[in-house]
Amino acid sequence: MLRSVKIRPKLKRLVRWLDGAARHGLTRKGRSLDGPSAELLAQVRRYFWFHSIDLGNGVVTPGNKSLPALRAEADAIFGPLGLRGKSVLDIGAWNGYFSFEAKRRQAERVLATDHHCWSPEINGRATFDLARAALGLEIEGLDIDVPDLVPDRVGQFDVVLFLGVFYHLVDPIRALHNLAALTKEVAVVETHLDLRGLERPAMVFYPGTELNNDPTNWWGPNRQCMEALLRLVGFERVVYQPHPLVKGARGIFHAYKNSSPTLTRTASAPKAVASQRNPVAVVDFHDFHNNHYLRINQRRLEHLASLGLSLSGSTVLELGAGIGDLSTFFLDRENEVTSVEARAENIERMRTNIAASYSAYSSRATQRHRIVRLDLDKDDGTFLGQFDVVHSYGILYHLRDPARLIRLMDATCRRLCLVETCVSFGVEAVINPTPEDAALASQAFDGVGCRPTRAWLFDALKSVFPHVYVPTTQPNHEEFPVDWTRPGPSGQLARAVFVASRQPLPSPLLTESLPDFQTRC
């Protein structure tokens, strides 16, 4: 048994609380129900519910966790996964919200298991059965304790959910070994985290009721510890994301059995990986750090800051991150940053640069940074999930297929999408394919980019975002024209900035049409 005598007092407390909680029930709009719905609501009210589950016909179970909170968690958990046709094991299913959600998201087979919360005192099994019947979903249920969950008993599953269970186990490491044995493709571990300021992998032990006054809470790992443990037990690739609601106080780890596509963390040890198409030997990082480039970075970022947008404390997806020169803009604003880059050698440099940027202080910024290697012209990036802000500076014009990038922005952006790119003068909506030198570390990965007109980009963004703006100002740099009625000097790049948003952004610094003239910021 992994659980211990600490559980009994907790059960008693819960049972006392259930009596009160079960008296309440919910209808969707607070209206009274009749017929079968009233009967269902009466049954629902007999039990305690941890999950709010919409059972249809106006009945929602009165869960401790609200429907919006569960939806946000489900998006974070299932967003990176394609469940169609997959088998899913839900360990510690309680009322079954995530099992039902997996089935709703096209999983072929779902097995919900629990033991502690399916005990007669808590009655979770009855709630699971009731919700399953009301939803009419074909899902299996099995009362089995975590230590007994091994392939010999239940077989293997493509996807295994281990949500809110890890820290309740006295011996969570044994359970992770079993988790790995049960998993064919990916396990999703959601857990409480502690020791967030510590760079070294570590875990707090709570012998009593130190954590939330709950005697069934035993362990508080930090992110590094969870990642290392998941690798230790046999997962090749671990992708961390902070919990969508409580941020770094809890974490969600997608642990994959095989490692494609490549995803690495800034703080991890550098590995010498050479891109096949662009051998390290021809890469000149001076391309990034020549004076011209450094100056344009300064001007672009001061311009971005001047727009007064809300850019702090969010999740940020940085597309075409290069060697991470712009990543610190967001890391310094307490964001969780995911940087996407195609070139392995740029990623190595980015990892070193970011680590060096924060080495003088024991900053946690590197823990908020992860790096994903993707070719934005070829790979599907939608597995990355959703981010509050998508930052796309200096990448669109390096792509053969810029419309593909716009689709990725649409799929990944929850709130705000910032675009800076080289463009062509002209009023027609065209992309103007352009050859680039793939041997240069800052250019198109496969040697073909584009120079779209502002009209093309504006229309493309408008096709997926409800609000698209152009700043009334341009950065203080000659590559950013302020008069669009006449092309600038030949040979000089022309750059433009766009802000796309899910919500209206009333600001005198933003205009909803393509201006012929702009001013300097």
Ligand X SMILES: C[S@@+](CC[C@H](N)C(=O)[O-])C[C@H]1O[C@@H](n2cnc3c(N)ncnc32)[C@H](O)[C@@H]1O
Cα–Cα distance between 345 and 498 in angstroms, integer? 29
Is residue 406 a contact residue for ligand X (CB under 6 A)?
no
* Separation of alpha carbons 268 and 239, rounded Å: 13
Please state, in angstroms and rounded to a whole number, the distance separating the CA atoms of residues 4 and 62.
29
Decide: residue 413, CB within 10 A, 0-12 exposed, 13-18 middle, 19+ buried: buried
Where does this chain touch ligand X (CB under 6 A) — which range of 128-136, 141-149, 389-397, 497-505? Answer: 389-397
Establish if 79 lies at the interface with ligand X (CB under 6 A): no
Residue 417 near ligand X by CB under 6 A = no
Residue 260 Cβ, how far from ligand X at the closest point, in Å? 16
x/- binding map, residues 250-289, to ligand X, per CB under 6 A? ----------------------------------------
What gap in Å lies between CA 295 and CA 293, rounded to an integer? 5
- Reduced DSSP (H G I as helix, E B as strand, rest coil) percent helix, strand, coil of the chain, to 5: 30, 25, 45
320 touches ligand X by CB under 6 A = yes
CB of 100 to ligand X, least distance (A): 37
Nearer to ligand X, 332 or 512 (CB): 332
Q: Using CA atoms, how far apart are residues 399 and 302, in angstroms rounded to an integer?
A: 26
Distance between CA atoms of 316 and 331, rounded to whole angstroms? 9
Q: Which residue is nearest to ligand X (CB)?
A: 394
Q: Between residues 54 and 348, which has the closer beta carbon with respect to ligand X?
A: 348
Whose Cβ is closer to ligand X: residue 37's or residue 328's?
A: 328
Q: At its nearest, how many Å lie between ligand X and the CB of residue 394?
A: 3
475 binds ligand X (CB under 6 A): no
Q: Does 396 bind ligand X (CB under 6 A)?
A: no
- Distance in angstroms (rounded) separating the CA atoms of residues 124 and 97: 12
Binding test (CB under 6 A) with ligand X, winner from 322, 381, 402, 475: 322
Of 47-55, 199-207, 241-249, 392-400, the window that binds ligand X (rule: CB under 6 A) is 392-400
Decide: helix, strand or coil at residue 186.
strand
How many residues bind ligand X, per CB under 6 A?
22
Which region, judged by CB under 6 A, interacts with ligand X, from 124-132, 394-402, 482-490, 512-520? Answer: 394-402
Residue-wise burial string across 229-268, b where 16 or more C-beta atoms lie within 10 A, e elsewhere: bbeebebebbbbbbbbeebbebbbbbbbeeeeeebbbbbe
Q: Which one of 125, 132, 265, 398 is in contact with ligand X (CB under 6 A)?
A: 398
- Rounded Cα distance, 457 and 459, in Å: 5
Asked if residue 496 binds ligand X (CB under 6 A), the reply is no
Which helix or strand (DSSP H or E) is residue 318 part of? strand 315-319
Q: What are phi and psi of 274, to 5 degrees?
A: -105, 135
- Binding to ligand X by residue 54, rule CB under 6 A? no
Site string for ligand X, 326-365 (x = CB under 6 A): x--------------xxx--x-------------------
Closer residue to ligand X (CB): 265 or 343: 343
Helix 97-104 vs helix 67-78: angle between axes, to the nearest 10 degrees? 60
Which of 27-35, 60-68, 387-395, 498-506 is the region at the interface with ligand X (rule: CB under 6 A)?
Answer: 387-395
Q: Least distance in Å: CB of 29 to ligand X?
A: 47
Q: How far is the CB of 453 from ligand X (least distance, A)?
A: 20
**Residue 101: CB minimum distance to ligand X, A:** 32
Q: Using the rule CB under 6 A, is 307 a contact of ligand X?
A: no
**Peptide bond connecting 261 to the previous residue in cis, omega within 30 degrees of 0:** yes
Nearest to 131, CA basis, from 43, 35, 250, 12: 43
- Nearer Cβ to ligand X, position 399 or 457? 399
Minimal distance, residue 464 CB to ligand X, in Å: 19
Smallest CA-to-CA distance from 62 within 97, 27, 95, 25 is with 25
Q: Which of 210, 196, 93 is nearest to 144 (CA)?
A: 93
> Does 395 engage in binding with ligand X (CB under 6 A)?
yes
Distance CA 183, CA 160 (A): 6
Considering only 227-235, 368-376, 423-431, 475-483, which stretch makes contact with ligand X by CB under 6 A?
A: 368-376
* Pairwise CA distance, residues 360 & 31, whole Å: 60
Question: Is residue 394 a contact residue for ligand X (CB under 6 A)?
Answer: yes
Minimal distance, residue 126 CB to ligand X, in Å: 51
Is residue 77 within 8 Å of residue 188, measured between CB atoms? yes
Residues forming contacts to ligand X in the complex (CB under 6 A) are 297, 320-322, 325-326, 341-343, 346, 374-377, 393-395, 398-399, 442, 444-445
